[in-house]
Amino acid sequence: MSKEKVILVGVETEQNQQNFLESMDELRQLTDTAHGEVVYTLTQKRPQVDRQTIIGKGKVQELIQFADAYEAELIIFNHEMTPRQSQLVTEAVGLPVIDRVQLILDIFAMRARSKEGKLQVELAQLEYLLPRLVGQGKSLSRLGGGIGTRGPGETKLETDRRHIRNKILGVKRELKAVEAHRMRNRQKRQSSEVFQIGLIGYTNAGKSTILNLLTEAKTYSKDQLFATLDPLTKKWQFAEGFEITVTDTVGFIQDLPTQLIDAFHSTLEESQGMDLLLHVVDASSSDRILQEQTVLQLMDELDMKEMPVLTVYNKADQIDAETFTPTLFPNVLISAQSENGKKRLVTAIKRQLMELLVPYTRLVPSNRGQVLSELRRQTLVLEEDFMEDRNSYMVKGFAKKQSKWLKKDDLF
C-alpha cells in the first residue's frame, strides 16, 4: 500500500509554546499511523494564529511552493480549522487540507471494530463535517480514497444538510440501543461480585501489551497511536484462583477532539465502573509528565479522579531504572516484555487489592469442597489451614465489601 505524501503545518503561539514540539511530533506519529508519509514540516512563530488561513499570506505562498516541490498530496494542520479557514487554504494550495481533529477521526475509523465503535466514529465524523459541507466539493470527492476520508462515504455526505441531520439522529438512536445493551452487561458484571480492573493511559503507553501479559488475551498491540479503540474485557485468574476482569480502553491524547470525548463517552464510561484503575505510563517517553497530566485532566472531566489508581510505569527496559524518578503514587516500574515485569505487576496489584478489599476469616468443613473452590475463585485467599480437631479449613483472605462471604450468617 503506497503512502500518501503529506506536509504538516503548525504555528507556535504564546498559548501552545510549552508543548508545541511534542504536539508536532505527535502529529507526525498520527500521520504515520494513518499510513501517510511526512515529506515536509512547515512551522511558524506568531503571537496567535491568522484568523483567515492560520499561517498568514506569506506562509501560504511558501506552502504552495513546498507542496509543488515535494509533490504533496495532502496538507495536515496541527490546529482545529474553521470551515472558512479550511476552504481558503484548500483553494490557495489546490490540495485537500485537513486538520488534527479530522486526522484523529480518520484513525478512529480505521481502528473501530465493534458496532458501537463504528457508530461512535460515524457520529463524530458527521457532526464534524456538517458545518464544513459548503465549499467541500473537491475534498468530499476524495471520500474513501486517502487520509481524512475513511468512515462515512460520499453517498452518506450529500450536501443536503437535512439528510445529514437525519443521519445523525439515526446514529444516535442506534447508539442508545447499543449503550443500553452494554450497560446491562456492565450491571451484570457488577452484581456478580467480580472485581474489575480497568486499564487507562496515554495512547501507545502499552495498555494492550499489559492486558496480554495478564490475561493472554492476544489483542492487537503495536507501537502505534490508538492501536486499541473498542473496550475489551478479559478474565484474569490469580495463581491462588481469584478471578477478576481486566478491561482495556482507548488511549488518551493531548487535545483530544471534543467530538470524540462526547462520541466515546460510553467507551470511557466503561472505566468508571471499575474497582481499580491501572494508569499505564510510558516511562521512556520524553513527554512523560505532559502525558500523565493529559490523562489526569481527562479523568477529572469524566468524574474519575476519586477512583483508586495504581500507576504502572512501563518500558523500564528502555530507561535507566536506577535514576528514574516517579511522579505519581502508588506506582510500580516494570517492563511488560519481561517475565519479571509480570511478577512485579502482580505483586503491586495484590498490594492494592488488600487495601481495597475487606479481610475475612471463615471456617469451611472439609466435606464442603464446592464452597472452598468458590471462595478461592471469588475472593483473594491468602491462607488455608486444615484444622484436624474441627475437620475444617480455616480460610483467611480478602473480599469485596458487598460479598456474601462477609455476611455473618452460616453459608454452609
For 10-20, the pLDDT digits (tens) are 999 999 998 89
Strands 243-248 and 232-237: antiparallel
Q: Residues 314-338: what's their mean pLDDT?
A: 95
- Residue 207 labeled ligand binder: yes
Does the domain at residues 2-106 carry the CATH identifier 1.10.1060.10? no
* 385 labeled part of a ligand binding site: no
250 is in an annotated binding site: yes
Q: According to the annotation, is 249 in a ligand binding site?
A: yes
Is 204 known to sit in a ligand binding site? yes
Is pLDDT at 162 greater than 90 in this prediction?
Answer: no
Angle at Cα 249 formed by Cα 245 and Cα 250, nearest 5°? 170
Mean pLDDT across the stretch 160-188? 82
Q: Which burial class, exposed, middle or buried, applies to 199 when counting CB atoms under 10 A from its CB (0-12, 13-18, 19+)?
A: buried
In angstroms, rounded to a whole number, what is the distance separating the alpha carbons of residues 209 and 216?
A: 9
How far is residue 145's CA from residue 16's CA, in Å, rounded to a whole number?
32
206 among annotated binding-site residues? yes
pLDDT, mean of residues 91-104:
93
Q: Which of 294, 251, 245, 234 is nearest to 23 (CA)?
A: 294
| Per-residue cell: 349 | 496489584
Name the helix (H) or strand (E) containing 207. helix 207-215
262 pLDDT above the threshold of 80: no
CATH number for the domain whose boundaries are 356-404: 3.30.1370
Q: Please identify, in words, the CATH class of the domain defined by 191-353.
A: alpha beta
Average pLDDT of span 87-96: 94
The CA-atom distances, in angstroms, between 337 and each of 254, 322, 396 are: 26, 19, 33
Average pLDDT over residues 316-322: 94
Residues linked to residue 345 through DSSP beta bridges, in sequence order: none
Is residue 202 part of an annotated ligand binding site? yes
For 191-244, write each residue's pLDDT tens digit: 667 899 999 999 889 998 999 999 986 665 555 666 555 667 889 999 999 999
